[in-house]
Amino acid sequence: MLKSLMPRTYHIITFGCQMNKNDSEHLAGMLEFEGCKPADEPSSANILVLNTCAVRDKAERRVYGQLENFDYLRRTNKLDQKIFLAGCMPAYDRGEIQKRAPFLDGFLEIEEARRYPPRRTASAEAWVTIMQGCNNFCVYCIVPYARGRERSRSAEDILAEIRGIDFAKHEVLFLLGQNVNSYAGAWQGRTIAFPELLEIILRECPAVPKLSFLTSHPKDMTDGLIDVLSRQPKIDREVHLPIQHASDRILQLMNRGYTRGHYLNLVSKIRARVPQVKISTDIIVGFPGETENEFLETCELIKTTDFFRVNTAGFSARRGTAAAELPPLKQTVVDERLNRLNTLINSLKPLNK
Ligand code: SAM
Ligand code: SF4
């Protein structure tokens, strides 16, 4: 399909996380392999690509808004333009998209794009995805449906990609996965876990100036990983460890697989073993059935844990997930609690330097 469109120019707009941004680099790599050239502006591109995020309703609404902008542009532009969608939204709900955006020309597949080397655009970070998908099925989350089950790349494959990175242009190697702590990839005929992968990368690729990774799941973070963090000075001292909620009842309903006590114990262990570590986290506010007291448990934990960074989001029901079947809180309650938590976090900022 793409070949018949060449030679052409393309423009990609990316929504969502670092993994999506890395996917867009592979999409760019695929389009350039096919002879396309990047265009700085959508108005001068023949191929318009939206790489989408489906994690929250707000992200989806922004995608539909952008699609309408593209459609308007195409109708008023003299250039021959095609509009494609990629990423998490078409991976789980193509029918709905075709209904709402019948003018779309088609979908680009991330799995296919990943066969092409990325065209790296981020200046500081060189992203390398070490695993795709997720097996955890946290009840609110669309990722296991949009990205499928976990698939870990072999260490050989990952090393080959890292050796091709020009570290004169990138300050940090960023390893990506929805749950890097459950990495289980092949290395010299056996299966290795994440701590060993980190050691192999640092040993085999001395040009790596600094190494970071996202995301660690608290239920799978091992003493072995904390040990590697404490011994390897090239590993970034910011550890992202999403707790999502502080109430054990809500954590269980969310299917997170750990308790507040386990999480806080992990934080203490990391702080004791890794000097100058900065711990950041994600919080979901207003999960179905969250009581005022349960919300206050989260506020209390935020006050007392001294996080470096806290990302917050109001619960967003995602069609097809188990949490979408639960009776939701009123949106006004979710918004008010989110507001209150954000105000609290802002008031704590000077403490978290
Ligand atoms: N794999 C990571 C983990 O387990 O922490 C997170 C990946 S998820 C794409 C990024 C963040 O989006 C989550 O940490 C969570 O806080 C938020 N999120 C996911 N689904 C959500 C939903 N339905 N409503 C609100 N926030 C959500
Ligand atoms: Fe979603 Fe949970 Fe998997 Fe993270 S671990 S991607 S929140 S299902």
Within 8 A by CB and 6+ apart from 228, the residues are 195, 198, 199, 235
Is this prediction's pTM over 0.75? yes
Using 50, 70 and 90 to split pLDDT, how confident is the model at 353?
A: very low
Ligand 2 centroid from CA 156, angstroms: 26
pLDDT of residue 5 exceeding 90: no
What pLDDT was estimated at residue 4? 55
pLDDT of residue 164 exceeding 80: yes
3: which 2 tokens? 């070949």
Question: For ligand 1, is residue 215 a contact (CB within 6 Å)?
Answer: yes
Mean pLDDT along residues 309-332: 97
* Average model confidence (pLDDT) across the chain: 94
Using 50, 70 and 90 to split pLDDT, how confident is the model at 131?
A: very high
What pLDDT was estimated at residue 2? 53
**Ligand 1 mutation pick, 55, 58, 181, max ligand atoms within 8 A of CB:** 55
**Ligand 2 mutation pick, 132, 141, 182, 214, max ligand atoms within 8 A of CB:** 141
Mean pLDDT along residues 234-254: 97
Least confident of 114-128, 204-218, 260-274: 114-128
Which ligand 2 atom lies nearest to the CA of residue 134? 3
Peptide bond into 7 cis (omega under 30): yes
As a dihedral over the C-alpha atoms of residue 301, residue 307, residue 313, residue 319, rounded to 10 degrees, the angle is -80
Q: Which residues line ligand 2 (CB under 6 A)?
A: 134, 136-138, 141, 143-144, 178-179, 217
70 near 42, Cβ under 8 Å?
Answer: yes
Using 50, 70 and 90 to split pLDDT, how confident is the model at 335?
A: very high
Within 8 A by CB and 6+ apart from 122, the residues are 21, 25, 170
Q: What are phi and psi of 244, to 5 degrees?
A: 75, -40
What pLDDT was estimated at residue 350? 54
Ligand 1 centroid from CA 142, angstroms: 9
Within 8 A by CB and 6+ apart from 300, the residues are 246
Mean pLDDT along residues 335-350: 93
β strands within the chain, DSSP E: 9-14, 37-38, 47-52, 82-87, 106-107, 125-129, 131-132, 151-152, 172-176, 184-187, 190-193, 211-214, 238-240, 278-285, 309-314
**Ligand 2 mutation pick, 55, 151, 178, max ligand atoms within 8 A of CB:** 178
pLDDT tens digit sequence for 92-114: 889 889 999 999 999 999 999 99
Within 8 A by CB and 6+ apart from 331, the residues are none
Q: What angle do CA 227, 163, 113 make, to 5 degrees?
A: 105
Mean pLDDT along residues 266-295: 97
Least confident of 1-5, 82-86, 243-247, 347-351: 1-5
pLDDT tens digit sequence for 23-40: 999 999 999 999 999 999
Q: Which ligand is nearest to the CA of 321?
A: 1
Mean pLDDT along residues 194-211: 98
Question: For ligand 1, is residue 326 a contact (CB within 6 Å)?
Answer: no
More confident site: 81 or 91: 81
Using 50, 70 and 90 to split pLDDT, how confident is the model at 121?
A: confident
Q: What angle do CA 181, 185, 186 make, to 5 degrees?
A: 150
Mean pLDDT along residues 167-193: 97
pLDDT of residue 157 exceeding 90: yes
Ligand 1 centroid from CA 120, angstroms: 25
What pLDDT was estimated at residue 91? 85
pLDDT of residue 175 exceeding 90: yes
Which ligand 1 atom lies nearest to the CA of residue 311? 16
What pLDDT was estimated at residue 125? 94
As a dihedral over the C-alpha atoms of residue 105, residue 23, residue 18, residue 326, rounded to 10 degrees, the angle is 60
Please tell me the residue having the least CA distance from ligand 1 atom 13.
282
pLDDT of residue 292 exceeding 80: yes
